[in-house]
Amino acid sequence: MHHRHLYIDGAWTTSTSRTDIDVIEPATEKVIGSAPGGTPEDVDTAVYAARRAFTGWAGTPARHRAAYLRTVADGIERRGPELAELITREVGTPIGFARMAQVGLAALAFRTAAEVGESYPYEQHQAPSLLIREPFGVVGAITPWNYPLYQVAAKAAYALAAGNTVVLKPSELAPLSVFALTGIIDEAGLPAGVFNLVSGVGAVVGQALAAHPDVDFLSFTGSTEVGKTVSRAAAGTVKRVGLELGGKSPAVLLPDAEVSEVVPRAVAAAFLNNGQTCCALTRLVVPRARKEEVERAAARAAGAMRVGDPLLPATQLGPLVSAGQRDRVRRHIQRAQGQGATLITGGAEPLQDLPHGYYVRPTVLSDVTTAMDAQHEEIFGPVLVIECYDDEDEAVTLANATPYGLAAAVWSADPDRALAVARRIQAGQVEINGGGFNPRAPFGGYKQSGNGREHGVLGLEEFLEVKAVQL
């Protein structure tokens, strides 16, 4: 799993830097692989390859582009078990969830992008104009480590379906599965230069992509802080920037909701992928009168979680991705307690029976108020906070009381009442009573959670420029 080459212009290519970045397995703290630390010169080479390939790819019929994407989806599915194990080892995702979400959703995104891309009406008459939607050109994509394949799929599959060419920089923490995906893309036979991979450090490769004058669209998923840096780097060229950023999403439990049914599901949702999910519902907003009941149910559900080796099928909570992330999450827990939050279960202490690996106890904090950092700062670990309200207006105010607006949930015995509350929540996706997953539903943020939408028709349109021809 030591990768020595970047993928540029349809070939595995030596980086100009010759330095490698180690990949550490969070469960064992051992090096399991490495990837080249690319340079701005590598970015130049990749961008020019993508530029040369653009006209041909944009002129390829949408149904032919879709056929390539389906071949990639087939390849992901064929190599599913291997990819899931790879992601479990580089990210720490429990293996069962890795198979279903990390790999299954990535394949589904390629398939859905193919369907959406081949059936989209690229030309529409709006008398006296003809509206033509066409690809931007070269898309620079920067992705995070938490869902390494799925985040790449959300960008690359849709950008390619729309007729753009792509230069991708994956996270330095979890590039191995992306190298495997690139092998699958290579085998699918996409024309040279249509898809390019330049691994490396964000401040070097990501920065070069964001600032590059020949990148027409920069699509970024990651933290809000880095999203702002990337926007500043891109501003000099006035390129379009799509931002998919952090979250601090609320689950609002209305007074008529069934606590014993809802709370275990809410805890499980908060701790998906070890709490490292951008849209994780990490704040439980509950009626004050139900506080003790909710605390007891949350303590039971979190305390019962099986923490340990993510490769074991029974594991529900694995390690965090890195030592830095583990330490940051523990500091958050301690700071919250210092600011007056009540520890219901878990805490910042190490787990005695897991001496190796970046584990954090599944933690629930209560009596959390808007004055505390844990109420509005993204923690990105297995930490659920409980906030109390006295009436529905206050529930909505609390739900909206963060700089973020990525996702939310509302639980109620009365779906109409839940929908009325959902309408008042500032978030890009709101699920009611557990909702169903929709791979075509647009995903993206309000406020500082971002400015774009991924997946489905809107996810395709994100990568299309509009031209009005007056007839």
In angstroms and rounded to an integer, the radius of gyration of the C-alpha atoms of the chain is 22
Q: What does the alpha-carbon distance between residue 345 and residue 353 come to, in Å, rounded to a whole number?
A: 17
Site for ligand NDP in 38-97 (CB under 6 A): none
Beta carbon of residue 346, minimum distance to ligand NDP (angstroms, whole number): 21
292 counts as catalytic: no
Q: What does the alpha-carbon distance between residue 13 and residue 435 come to, in Å, rounded to a whole number?
A: 45
Which is nearest to 297 in space by CA: 251, 351, 242? Answer: 251
Q: Which is nearer to ligand NDP, 24 or 297 (CB)?
A: 24
Near ligand NDP by CB under 6 A: residue from 13, 15, 45, 146: 146
Q: Which is nearer to ligand NDP, 375 or 412 (CB)?
A: 375
Q: Which of 244, 378, 387, 462 is catalytic?
A: 244
Residue type, 425: I
Interaction of residue 429 with ligand NDP, rule CB under 6 A: no
Q: Which is nearer to ligand NDP, 73 or 91 (CB)?
A: 91
Stretch that binds ligand NDP, among 70-78, 201-209, 290-298, 300-308 (CB under 6 A): 201-209
462 counts as catalytic: no
Interaction of residue 247 with ligand NDP, rule CB under 6 A: yes
Interaction of residue 380 with ligand NDP, rule CB under 6 A: yes
Near ligand NDP by CB under 6 A: residue from 221, 274, 316, 375: 221
Distant-in-sequence, close-in-space partners of 133: CB < 8 Å, separation ≥ 6: 120, 122, 123, 461, 464, 465, 466, 467
Interaction of residue 142 with ligand NDP, rule CB under 6 A: yes
Interaction of residue 181 with ligand NDP, rule CB under 6 A: no
Interaction of residue 404 with ligand NDP, rule CB under 6 A: no
Taking CA atoms, 389 is separated from 238, 252, 283, 285, 324, in Å, by 44, 10, 13, 7, 34
Q: What does the alpha-carbon distance between residue 116 and residue 108 come to, in Å, rounded to a whole number?
A: 12
> Which tokens go with 264?
């275990």
Q: Which is nearer to ligand NDP, 104 or 222 (CB)?
A: 222
DSSP state of 17: S
Q: Where are the alpha helices (DSSP H) in 236-339?
A: 259-270, 291-303, 323-338
Near ligand NDP by CB under 6 A: residue from 210, 267, 270, 302: 210
Q: Which of 278, 378, 388, 454 is catalytic?
A: 278
User: Residues binding ligand NDP: what is the number (CB under 6 A)?
Assistant: 33
**DSSP per position, 59-109:** TS-HHHHHHHHHHHHHHHHHTHHHHHHHHHHHH---HHHIIIIIIIHHHHH
Contact pattern for ligand NDP over residues 251 through 290, marking x by CB under 6 A: ---------------------------x------------
Taking CA atoms, 315 is separated from 98, 308, 309, 312, 390, in Å, by 12, 6, 7, 6, 37
Q: Are 152 and 143 in contact (CB under 8 A)?
A: yes
Tell me which residues are annotated as active site: 244, 278
Q: Which residues make up the interface to ligand NDP (CB under 6 A)?
A: 142-147, 151, 169, 171-173, 201-203, 206-207, 210, 221-223, 226, 229-230, 244-247, 278, 378, 380, 406, 445, 450
